[in-house]
Structure 1
């Protein structure tokens, strides 16, 4: 090359193939567990109760005191995803809350029924009772979130 164009560089076929392959793997990894569908479900009326579930959950779902749902919106044996939190009712009048992010690869869980919280990305399943893993590939439970139940309102604690 001549002086104004700078030094010449040779890019091998191997370098191009490696770069394209790496970008493809990264794109697949980012899209595989990126669902944000909240999958909320409505239900018949359930009795209100003053009970709380969970402890510090490490969720980033907003300010304490924010209403997540009405008790009537949470089915017995099921639940509802509200933002970064999944609220469940394992037994009549008992409410629990967990992070809605699957511990496998961070997908949003949805499809809560028959005592199980389902992750649509890789079919992990968690207990509505305590967030424990019922079926992998996830190996860690859903972290609990703090809630309060006052009358017919479920709020972040």
Structure 2
């Protein structure tokens, strides 16, 4: 009887440990995404946003034609900057620009909404730049 009881405890304990490890692995995978912020460059020539929709001195969230989340900024009239909205820390998408900042909801990194530069970690690299141009009042991928 003792051997059987010990055997059941061993099985239950081992099973619980394996289940806990699997749950932890899933949680880490969901959090990180494994991309480390490495976004693919969008295809050239696609409309991202109308320049008139991005006020001077501000930034807006947008999507490239192939569905990538980006931030488009107009730091000065007619000057446009665009960068990936994927946090360089662990690949989460940053929130929409607010008060000149982009906040990562996963781990608290903060980026400058006009430049993509890191203002507060844990991210230690800026948001990747995306080359864009203005054609007929539209911000398009270059």
TM range (shorter): 0.7 to 0.9
> Would you say the 8 A contact 2:59–2:71 is kept in 1?
no
Q: Which of 54, 58, 63 is the aligned partner of 1:77?
A: 58
CA 1:111–1:84: 2 relative to 1, 3 Å:
closer
CA distance 1:81–1:125, shift in 2 (3 Å)? farther
Higher helix residue share: 2
Change (3 A) 1:128 1:91: farther
Q: 1:153 deviation in Å?
A: 0.5
SS in 2 for 1:31: helix
8 Å Cα contact 1:78-1:116 kept in structure 2: no
Residues 72 and 80, structure 2, Cα contact 8 Å, conserved in 1: yes
* 1:14, distance to aligned residue in structure 2 (A): 4.1
Give the superposed CA RMSD.
2.2
Gaps of at least 5 residues in structure 1 are 1-10, 35-57
1:5-35 deviations in Å (ceiling 9; x for gaps): xxxxxx734431221111111222233357x
Q: Which runs of 5+ in 2 are unaligned?
A: 1-9
Q: Higher mean Cα deviation, 86-95 or 62-71?
A: 86-95
Question: Partner of 1:113: helix, strand, or coil?
Answer: coil
SS of the equivalent of 2:96 reads strand
Pairwise CA distance, 1:89: 1.8
**How many correspondences in the alignment?**
124
Flag as ranges the 4+ runs of structure 1 deviating above 6 A: none
Give yes or no for contact 1:89–1:128 (8 Å, CA) kept in 2.
no
Structure 1: distance between partners of 2:70 and 2:102: 12
Q: 1:125 matched to which residue of 2?
A: 110
Shift of the alpha carbon at 1:128? 2.5
- Bigger drift between 74-83 and 126-135 goes to 74-83
* Native 8 Å contact 1:81 1:109 kept in 2: no
